Amino acid sequence: MEDENIHNLVDLIAGHIGAAVSIAGKDKFLNNPIIKAVRTEHPGLQRMNINRYLLRELLKFKASNPDVNVVKTVVFLSNDGFNTDWVKVFKMLVMPFMIKHQIFGAKLALGSK
């Protein structure tokens, strides 16, 4: 399934990361080879690779933080359903976990450069 109103998930997610975390976090996301490979591809393929990227980041985090439960976050990375629903889940459940644990990098304080 796909949504006609979301044409580029990569840029949408990068924008959320840039706004909520930092430009450095956004750049880390956009410069990852998994993401770069699908930046101009169909949103369904983009979502699969975004999920793959997020899963890899979560598993790297888990390896150095064995006491933190990442499974509750990983289960929300679905390749099925509507993109609009996936974006809502990402913003409400996945991104807050990743921000809390600085997986995208440290969040800049207001007024920081």
Using an 8 Å Cβ cutoff, are 39 and 61 in contact? no
Q: Does residue 96 fall inside a structural domain?
A: yes
What is the model's pLDDT at position 69?
86
The verdict on residue 95 lying in a domain is: yes
Tell me if 113 is assigned to some domain: no
> What domain range includes position 38?
9-100
Residue 111 lies in a domain: no
Residue 112 domain flag: no
Q: What share of the chain is helix, strand, coil (3-state, %, to 5)?
A: 60, 0, 40
Report whether pLDDT(3) > 70.
no
The per-residue pLDDT for range 32-89, each reduced to its tens digit, is 999 999 999 999 999 999 999 999 999 898 888 888 888 878 888 888 889 999 999 9
1 found inside a domain:
no
Domains contained in the chain, number: 1
Residue 64 within any structural domain of the chain: yes
Residues 6+ apart with CB under 8 A from 29: 13, 14, 17, 35, 53, 104
